[in-house]
Amino acid sequence: MTDLSIRSLAKAFGGVRAVNDVSFEVARGEFLAMIGPNGAGKSTCFNMINGQLRPDSGEIWFERANLAGLAPREIWRLGVGRTFQVAATFGSMTVVENVQMALISHAGETYRLWKPAASRYRARALELLEQVGMKDAADRASRELAYGDVKRVELAMALANDPRLLLMDEPTAGMAPRERNALIALVKRLVVEKGISVLFTEHSMDVVFAHADRIIVLARGRLIADGDARTIREHPKVQEVYFGTGKTFARVEPKPLEPQP
């Protein structure tokens, strides 16, 4: 069964076609990585799916709704969770309050003016924090956390609305290699438990090849390859675009190759 279906998505910035007729699908429970060299259109594509950008044309079907042109908060309400490339939490709140905020929003209680927020959904928030291994830090100010921990808190927030799809923009950016694998392993375990589909972009190829169920590759705004790790690794077009510029790939596949002009 298909969870997310992207059809002929396109976006241009002042004549430059950042994303050009991209179509792909994410199946229920699938862990799908979107990769591509810098400037391939990953971020543009991703930001159209999460509502940050409005597509010029094309459709983004999630379950029975077309997400194209919806605001991020509307997409979230439909059951899509999201994490950011640069982790963003609410710095003036404690860790548990961050998650409570997401739970409060999910419950539609954002505009309540009376009962203190800190007393709402605390148990559920602690449960989510436990799942990401951050329960001990629950009452610390979130601005004091190490970056890796912020990412975990963000994950807990993204899971607060019981999403059926999780969008993760470079979930491991800015983390040490060991932390990366731990985080992705955690994500993988949680989504499998909860039956969540995941679409993520990633720079770190070892993470992608180690964990993704399937990989799609964008280059110059177009989708050039789609398949499992092995297919992608050996895909001629992928090798062509990556070895022109890529560095990350080279570490996985250390064969030296001549750069293209």
Footprint on this chain of another protein (rule: CB under 8 A): 50, 52, 71-73, 76-77, 82, 84, 88-94, 97, 100-102, 104-106, 109-118, 120, 141, 143, 154, 157, 160-161
Residue 39's nearest CA partner among 174, 203, 191 is 203
At 180 the three-state DSSP class reads helix
Residue 40's nearest CA partner among 207, 242, 200 is 242
Which CB sits closer to another protein, 91 or 244?
91
Distance separating alpha carbons of residues 95 and 157, to the nearest angstrom: 10
Which CB sits closer to another protein, 17 or 140?
140
Distance separating alpha carbons of residues 127 and 14, to the nearest angstrom: 47
Q: How far is the CB of 168 from another protein (least distance, A)?
A: 12
Amino acid identity, residue 118? A
Which CB sits closer to another protein, 171 or 221?
171
Which CB sits closer to another protein, 159 or 223?
159
Q: How far is the CB of 117 from another protein (least distance, A)?
A: 4
Find out whether 61 and 80 touch, Cβ atoms under 8 Å: no
Q: How far is the CB of 112 from another protein (least distance, A)?
A: 5
Q: How far is the CB of 210 from another protein (least distance, A)?
A: 27
Half-sphere exposure in the Cβ direction for 131 (13 Å, CA): 21
Q: How far is the CB of 229 from another protein (least distance, A)?
A: 29
Distance separating alpha carbons of residues 133 and 131, to the nearest angstrom: 5
Which CB sits closer to another protein, 65 or 93?
93
Q: How far is the CB of 76 from another protein (least distance, A)?
A: 4
Residue 203's nearest CA partner among 253, 247, 150 is 247
Which CB sits closer to another protein, 1 or 114?
114
